[in-house]
Amino acid sequence: MAKKEIKAMHWADQTAQRIIAQREKKDKYVLAAGITPSGTIHLGNFREIITVDLIDKAMKDLGHKTRFIYSWDDYDVFRKVPTNMPKQNMLKEHLRRAISDVPDPFDCSHKSYAEHNEKEVEKELPDLNIAPEFIYQTKMNKKSAYAEEMKTALENTGKIKEILNEHRKEPLEESWLPVAIFCEKCGKDTTKSIEYPGGYELTYECSCGNKDIFDFRKKGIAKLKWRIDWPARWKYEKVDFESGGKDHFAAGGSFQTGERILEEVFKTKIFASIRYEWISMKGTGPLNQHLIPFFAKFSQTSFGELPNSSMSLISGKCVTNFMLDKESSRPDSEMASSYVT
Ligand SMILES: [Zn+2]
Ligand SMILES: [Zn+2]
C-alpha cells in the first residue's frame, strides 16, 4: 500500500482559511497593515508587509477577492529626530509637527520627510511583486474622512478613558480627550487646552497664543489619538485582518485596547489578527558580519534603522526565505537575520 503523503499547510494558507471561517462572507476581504514613517523603514516593517502579502496571496488562491491596504500614518506627530538623519538642527525645529509637514532633510525632490521615507519603501515593493493600496493618513485626515468616528469617540470619551485606565498606573486627566490638534498657526500639537462643546465642534488654545473654535468636518486639523485612531480605521475600512508587532499585542497594548474600543465604542465585531515577532541580529553568518558594522554606525538600539542601500539586499533575501521556509517564516517565530545569509 502506498504511503499516504501528508502535506503540512503553509501558515499563510492556514491564516487565510481562518479569516474566511471567522468573518462573514464578503465580496472583498480587507487586509490591513501600516506604520508611521517617522524614520528609515526597517526590516521589521518589511516583515509585516511580507506577512500580509503572503496571506493576501493565499486568500486569492482560495478564490476570494481582497484589498491589501497599507496605511502610512504620516499625520502622526514628529516626536524625535532619528540619529541617522542629516540636518539634525533643522529637523529639531520641526518637532511636534505632523511628519508630513516636516521638510525632507535629503537633497531630493520629495515634498516632506514623511514622503521621503514612504517612497524609499514604495520603490522597493514592485521588484518583490508586492502591490498594496497605499493610504496616506494626512490626506484622509485633512479631508475629515474620519469625522463620524471622531464624533463617536468624543461622545464616548468617558467609556474610552475607562478602557484605557484599566491598564494605566496613573489615570488619564479629567480634561483628557481622544483627539490631538495641529494648531493652524504654528502647525504643532502643542495645544494648552482642547475642549469638546458637542456635535462636530472642537475648541483649542495653542501655546503659541492661537485660539479657535472649528467644525472638524470642515477643517482637518484634529486627529484621533493612536489608541483610538487604530480601531476607528478598522471600522472605517471594514478591516477583516490586521497584523501587528508583539509590542502592540502585549496585555494592555494598543491592539487589546483597540479591540475593546472597536466593540464597545464603534459597535463593530472584532476581526482576525496575527502577531509577528521581532527580527533580531543573531548569529555570525556572512550577512551579519557584513551588516553589523552598518548597525554600529547607524543604530542607537539593538535593531535600528538600516541604511537604505542595504534594504534591497536584505528584503530580497528575506522574501526568498519567507517563500521557501515554512517554519522560520512563521510570523510568531523570532526571525534572526542569520536566516538570510
Ligand atoms: Zn527625499
Ligand atoms: Zn500654535
Tell me the CATH number at 127.
3.40.50.620
Per-residue model confidence (pLDDT) at position 308: 43
Per-residue model confidence (pLDDT) at position 251: 78
- pLDDT bucket at 340, cuts 50 / 70 / 90: very low
| Domain contains 332 | yes
What grid cell was written down for 190?
A: 502643542
Q: Each residue of 144-190: pLDDT tens digit?
A: 999 999 999 999 999 999 999 999 999 999 999 999 999 999 999 99
| Domain contains 196 | no
CA distances from 235 to 150, 250, 259, 263, 265 (A): 12, 22, 11, 10, 11
pLDDT above 60: residue 1: no
**Could you tell me which residues come within 8 angstroms of residue 169 by beta carbon, excluding any fewer than 6 positions away?**
none
Give the number of whichever ligand sits closest to the CA of residue 184: 2
- pLDDT bucket at 275, cuts 50 / 70 / 90: low
Per-residue model confidence (pLDDT) at position 337: 39
Nearest to 121 by CA among 71, 82, 159: 71
C-alpha 118 – ligand 1 centre gap (Å):
9
| Domain contains 261 | no
C-alpha 185 – ligand 2 centre gap (Å):
5
C-alpha 300 – ligand 1 centre gap (Å):
22
pLDDT above 90: residue 330: no
| Domain contains 47 | yes
**Could you tell me which residues come within 8 angstroms of residue 120 by beta carbon, excluding any fewer than 6 positions away?**
40, 41, 308, 311
What grid cell was written down for 32?
A: 490591513
pLDDT above 60: residue 316: no
Separation between Cα atoms, residue 162 and residue 257, nearest integer Å? 10
Give the number of whichever ligand sits closest to the CA of residue 97: 2
Give the number of whichever ligand sits closest to the CA of residue 110: 1
CB 34 within 8 A of CB 73: yes
Q: Mean of the pLDDT values across residues 310-323?
A: 50
Write out the DSSP string of 135-177.
EEHHHHHHTTTTHHHHHHHHHTHHHHHHHHHTT-SSPPPTT--
Per-residue model confidence (pLDDT) at position 338: 34
Per-residue model confidence (pLDDT) at position 125: 86
| Domain contains 171 | no
| Domain contains 129 | yes
CB 24 within 8 A of CB 292: no
Read off the pTM: 0.83
Q: Each residue of 73-86: pLDDT tens digit?
A: 999 999 999 998 99
Per-residue model confidence (pLDDT) at position 277: 57
Q: Mean of the pLDDT values across residues 249-254?
A: 82
Per-residue model confidence (pLDDT) at position 46: 75
Range of the domain at 98: 13-143+277-340
Per-residue model confidence (pLDDT) at position 214: 98
| Poorest-pLDDT segment among 26-35, 36-45, 63-72, 153-162 | 36-45
C-alpha 97 – ligand 2 centre gap (Å):
10
| Domain contains 245 | no
CA dihedral of residues 190, 219, 254, 177 (deg, nearest 10): 60
Strand order in the sheet with 272-276: 133-136, 65-72, 28-35, 241-245, 272-276
C-alpha 163 – ligand 2 centre gap (Å):
31
Per-residue model confidence (pLDDT) at position 42: 66
For residue 99, the Cα-to-chain-centroid distance in whole angstroms is 14
Nearest to 32 by CA among 209, 218, 252, 273: 273
Give the number of whichever ligand sits closest to the CA of residue 114: 1
Per-residue model confidence (pLDDT) at position 341: 26
Write out the DSSP string of 268-293.
----EEEEE--EE--S--HHHHHHHH
CB 101 within 8 A of CB 94: yes
Q: Mean of the pLDDT values across residues 51-67?
A: 93
Residue 62 neighbours by CB distance under 10 Å: 13
Write 250-253 long-range contacts (CB < 8 A, 24+): 251/167, 252/166, 252/167
CA distances from 256 to 93, 224, 228, 300 (A): 35, 17, 11, 29
C-alpha 114 – ligand 2 centre gap (Å):
21
Give the number of whichever ligand sits closest to the CA of residue 111: 1
CB 220 within 8 A of CB 142: yes
Separation between Cα atoms, residue 58 and residue 50, nearest integer Å? 12
Give the number of whichever ligand sits closest to the CA of residue 208: 2
pLDDT above 70: residue 29: yes
C-alpha 120 – ligand 1 centre gap (Å):
8
Percent residues over pLDDT 70 in the chain: 76
pLDDT above 90: residue 258: yes
| Domain contains 139 | yes
- pLDDT bucket at 123, cuts 50 / 70 / 90: confident
Number of domains in the chain: 1
C-alpha 296 – ligand 2 centre gap (Å):
38
Q: What's the whole-number average pLDDT of the chain?
A: 82
Separation between Cα atoms, residue 66 and residue 31, nearest integer Å? 7
Give the number of whichever ligand sits closest to the CA of residue 123: 1
pLDDT above 60: residue 6: no
